[in-house]
Structure 1
Amino acid sequence: MSLSFDYRRFSCPLVEPMRTADGAIESREGFLIRISDGTHVGYGEASPLPGWTESIDDCEAALEAASEASENGRSALIDATDHTSAARHGVSLAVADLAATIDAQPLYRDLGALERVPRVPVNATIGDGSPAATAEAAADAVDRGFGCCKVKVGVRSTEADLERVRRVRETVGDEVDLRVDANGAWTFEEAERVVAALADLDVSILEQPLPAGALGGHAELRGNGVAIAVDEGILEHGVDAILDAKAADVFVFKPMALGGVDVARQLAAWVAEDNRGVIVTTTYDAVVARTAAVHLAAAIPDVLPSGLATASMLERDLGPDPVFFDHGNAVIPQAKGLGVEDVWDEP
């Protein structure tokens, strides 16, 4: 079936620059995608991120190839972008949104959920700051209903970061689920020293304590009272190598970096068979990809509190957000497909 295929470039400024290994990013640049069968419409978003996906130029080239393949149907569209994760994410999402709209059901049902899912748990992300500022941010998140806080560490010394985590635990009490994300900043010796202290503070998950390549080190850190999660390591090694190395208790899936919500859903089912936990996070995406990540989380049984509350990172978005948050949960849109509206016109 021939489909119409259109895309346009967008830029959504960030409230604060995002620090990456390739430098600071001040806006999320990407492409909004729209496909139609003449009656129904599906939307997708391809937002490349340095260090995680292809470049913006390679993404656009892949989308142009998809445009040329559109007369050959949905599979040809996706095949044209198979070598580029952000472009594939956008195109496959538009195809999935169109299919779910035609099926007259929410996207998460087409992704495999067997029943209605009203909401999924979400974590609050607490950025780097002084111990007092970190504790205050965590207390504010708990006051807004979040039952899980993830504290970013790794910029300061391990002693300074431990003090920050201690202050958070003292402030929010024992009932709040507390996590720590080091973004691969520590050596094995530092991580080994910190894990015992984090266990004493009842931290549930330590995310990416070591650089992505250190599968053996992550495996050695497991079993010490804090679950070990991998994020960046998934792109470098793949899920199968991480499972073979027994390097993780939890997998953090970013659908934009993995090539689509369909790919992430398949990987989630795979790691669940090995009794591993799953967290879904965005890459500070605009509303189309962000909503898709929420639908993905809704399609994963027993998904852990996930990093989906990231709309506030954007100064301007592509359109209204169909997801709202209630007491630390994302309320799932129950409209056809993604449930996004009024995104195609320039903001």
Structure 2
Amino acid sequence: MSTVALPPLSDILASARVVSLPLAARFRGIDTREALVFEGPEGWAEFSPFVEYADVEAATWLAGAIDFGWRPSPPAVRDLVAVNATMPAVAASEVPRILARYDGCRTVKVKVAEAGQTLADDVARVRAVREAMGPEGRVRVDANGAWNVDEAERAIHALAEFDLEYVEQPCAEVDELAALRERVGYLDIPIAADESVRKAADPLRVARAGAADLLVIKAQPLGGVHAAREIVAHAGLPAVVSSALDTSIGLSMGVALAASLPELDYDCGLGTAALFTADVVASPLVARDGALSLERPRPRSADLDRVEASEERRDWWMDRLRRCYALVEVTRG
């Protein structure tokens, strides 16, 4: 796979800004989402691996951001990308408030298996989503690998009555996914793999092992739009393009990927800007009538000032950028 020439670090630092976006509801255990954004010849890009990720993993996210900022995106084969609403692990009573932030989405991804919660909490939340969406709505759940095989089997049985579109990353390991898929195959509920693709040394292992029915693909952690496209092409499985709670800049990378895929049978998880109460642009990349356009956000200095992170956090991210750049430099030889 060809890659864009690595720009000098000084070119990235020249426009780099660190932002902190407040969330409308707690998500993945955080109330604010931090990111580092910078401008390349092709437009703005985003470097935003979660803070707990080690530099080796985070460096792949930086390679993806550089690819988006310095390399033209593949040609689009569609003008709009249909997206799902994302439901954090909130109480069932909060479901209508969260759904109201999404315009026209026909699909909802519900977070389940949250630490400190029970299966009963998950059932109540999914039931509330199904009731809000009606029989025609599509409901999928995401456990982020938190269940073992027995727990996953029990949970899927408990949630099957809600006509699930698929279950995303119910277990952490590929062999667990394969075993679970055999156990629950008769329920005709597809299994999707996310972390087993983006955190794996071999992203295609899950497909080779027959451990999933579809793949959840995220551009930035897989090394960029072009690298992610190659994974989809070689996997031979349907793909859903999703985000990692990105700013509107990062979401536009996912939209570029989704718009370029020859086949896109599922609504994509790129509507998460609706979870923020502020973003890096005055007009965030949120769904209109259930879909996103292919626009590439161009933040103004005033937009970035409004969500600027503290000096301490800015220094932390700049140090991380320098360390990860050095790792990318080594991998490029």
Q: Given the two structures, how large is their TM-score scaled by the length of structure 2?
A: 0.76
Segment drifting more, 206-215 vs 8-17: 8-17
**Aligned counterparts of 1:252 and 1:193: Cα–Cα separation in 2:** 23
State the shift of 1:18 in Å.
5.8
Residue by residue over 1:235-294, the C-alpha shift from the partner in whole angstroms, topping out at 9 and shown as x without a partner, is 1353321012111111111212111111111112223xx2x2211112222232211111
Higher RCO (CA-CA < 8 Å; seq separation 6+)? 2
**Structure 2 spans left out of the alignment, 5+ residues:** 306-333
- CA distance 1:177–1:312, shift in 2 (3 Å): closer
1:258 to 222, 245, 249: 222
Q: In structure 2, what is the equivalent of residue 268 of structure 1? A: 232
Q: In structure 1, what is the equivalent of residue 20 of structure 2? A: 12
**Aligned counterparts of 2:99 and 2:245: Cα–Cα separation in 1:** 23
Q: In structure 2, what is the equivalent of residue 128 of structure 1? A: 89
Letter in 2 for 1:243: A
Letter in 2 for 1:140: A
**Aligned counterparts of 2:162 and 2:262: Cα–Cα separation in 1:** 28
Q: Given the two structures, how large is their TM-score scaled by the length of structure 1?
A: 0.73
State the shift of 1:320 in Å.
4.2
**1:149 and 2:108 equivalent?**
yes
**1:319 and 2:281 equivalent?**
yes
Given that 1:121 and 1:328 are in contact with CA atoms closer than 8 Å, whether structure 2 keeps it comes out as yes
Given that 2:27 and 2:89 are in contact with CA atoms closer than 8 Å, whether structure 1 keeps it comes out as no
Q: In structure 2, what is the equivalent of residue 91 of structure 1? A: 66
**1:34 and 2:35 equivalent?**
no
Q: In structure 1, what is the equivalent of residue 194 of structure 2? A: 231
Given that 1:199 and 1:225 are in contact with CA atoms closer than 8 Å, whether structure 2 keeps it comes out as no
**Aligned counterparts of 1:93 and 1:3: Cα–Cα separation in 2:** 12
Q: In structure 2, what is the equivalent of residue 329 of structure 1? A: 291
Letter in 1 for 2:105: F
- What is the number of residues matched between the two proteins? 290
Q: Map residues 161-200 of structure 1 onto 2, 5 A cutoff.
A: 161-200=122-161
Given that 1:17 and 1:27 are in contact with CA atoms closer than 8 Å, whether structure 2 keeps it comes out as no
Q: Map residues 104-115 of structure 1 onto 2, 5 A cutoff.
A: 107=73, 111-113=74-76, 115=77
Given that 1:138 and 1:172 are in contact with CA atoms closer than 8 Å, whether structure 2 keeps it comes out as no
SS for the counterpart of 1:239 is coil
**Aligned counterparts of 2:279 and 2:101: Cα–Cα separation in 1:** 23
State the shift of 1:11 in Å.
1.7
Given that 1:287 and 1:320 are in contact with CA atoms closer than 8 Å, whether structure 2 keeps it comes out as no
Q: In structure 1, what is the equivalent of residue 213 of structure 2? A: 249
Identity score, percent: 27
**Aligned counterparts of 1:186 and 1:281: Cα–Cα separation in 2:** 21
Given that 2:248 and 2:285 are in contact with CA atoms closer than 8 Å, whether structure 1 keeps it comes out as no
Q: In structure 1, what is the equivalent of residue 298 of structure 2? A: 341
Q: Map residues 285-304 of structure 1 onto 2, 5 A cutoff.
A: 285-303=246-264, 304=266
Letter in 1 for 2:293: V
SS for the counterpart of 1:162 is helix
Given that 2:43 and 2:298 are in contact with CA atoms closer than 8 Å, whether structure 1 keeps it comes out as no
SS for the counterpart of 1:15 is strand
**1:210 and 2:171 equivalent?**
yes
State the shift of 1:206 in Å.
0.5
